[in-house]
Structure 1
Amino acid sequence: MIEGSCLCGAVRFRVKRMSGIVECHCAMCRKAAGGHAGFFFVAMRNEVSWEGEGELTHHESSPGLVRSFCARCGTAMTGANLKEPDETIILAANALDGDVPARVIAQEFRASKATWFEGHDGAEHFDGPYPGWEKLRP
């Protein structure tokens, strides 16, 4: 079983199977995910079980497409699903818990890629928190 949850733990999902993960660079997905891209996968709607589903809030981000977020902490839990649901559901890979049997298989809307994300491979990296937070100033 593959599991996911929001930051505060109020909403959880379990899925039996998942597709590969798609990385989306469009502005809406970046904002919904709170990062350089949104990461999403597809599951069969009848193979998803929810805990705390009543804590989800919904936003129609485009005509006919609805995203879901935890109303308590704001974690994106679904991608842009059809307002009139079909048999699949797009779930947010950022909400996945633990290791999963899937990896990123595609990137979309690369022309919208955040410019600040380019060339960051040379940045310092740490296994724990960044030790320079208290010294950061504009």
Structure 2
Amino acid sequence: MSKTVRGSCLCGAVSYAAERISDIVECHCAMCRKAAGGHAGFFFVAMRNEVSWEGEGKLTHYESSPGLIRSFCSRCGTAMTGANLKEPDDTIILSANALEGDVPARVIAQEFCASKATWFAGHDEAPEFDGPYPGWETLKP
């Protein structure tokens, strides 16, 4: 894709801008689910030399697998990258969960589907609301 895209963390301390991006892959593995804080992690690839960072010093890094590093905002915990090589190559995997605005990319694949969260099954039948769920006050176990 040829449109510069931007992403940022929840608190705004860290952001990236990527000149070009690939389409997006949805990952259901347990590590990506936990890193993203949801049912899946969503990631895309950019060329490392075409990505600029603001607040890069506020990133913290975690070696989630031998030789693979993930980066998060040290202030709010937002995942900013996927699992990149500890010894970087010319590409970087960025978190699509952090993207802002209209993005010229779409999800093209789902991986590690055998690891999907069981609670996620059947969510398409759940009612949708344009604002907050009106039943929060009545939710009880």
Letter in 2 for 1:46: N
Q: What aligned pairs does 1:12-23 form with structure 2 within 5 A after superposition?
A: 12-23=15-26
Alpha-carbon offset, residue 114 of structure 1: 0.7
The equivalent of 1:92 in structure 2 is 95
Q: What aligned pairs does 1:107-122 form with structure 2 within 5 A after superposition?
A: 107-122=110-125
| d(CA) in 1 for partners of 2:77, 2:137 | 26
| d(CA) in 1 for partners of 2:54, 2:102 | 20
Q: What aligned pairs does 1:78-89 form with structure 2 within 5 A after superposition?
A: 78-89=81-92
* Structure 1: runs of 5+ lacking an equivalent: none
Q: Per-residue displacement from partner, 1:97-134 (whole Å, max 9, x unpaired)?
A: 00100000111000001111111111121000011111
Q: What aligned pairs does 1:1-138 form with structure 2 within 5 A after superposition?
A: 1-138=4-141
| d(CA) in 2 for partners of 1:106, 1:118 | 18
TM-score for both structures, normalised by structure 2: 0.97
| d(CA) in 2 for partners of 1:29, 1:123 | 24
Letter in 2 for 1:51: E
Letter in 2 for 1:63: P
Which region of structure 1 is more displaced relative to structure 2, 118-127 or 81-90?
118-127
The Cα RMSD (Å) is 0.5
Which region of structure 1 is more displaced relative to structure 2, 37-46 or 117-126?
117-126
Alpha-carbon offset, residue 62 of structure 1: 0.3
| d(CA) in 1 for partners of 2:26, 2:122 | 18
SS of the equivalent of 1:126 reads coil
TM-score for both structures, normalised by structure 1: 0.99
| d(CA) in 2 for partners of 1:91, 1:110 | 20
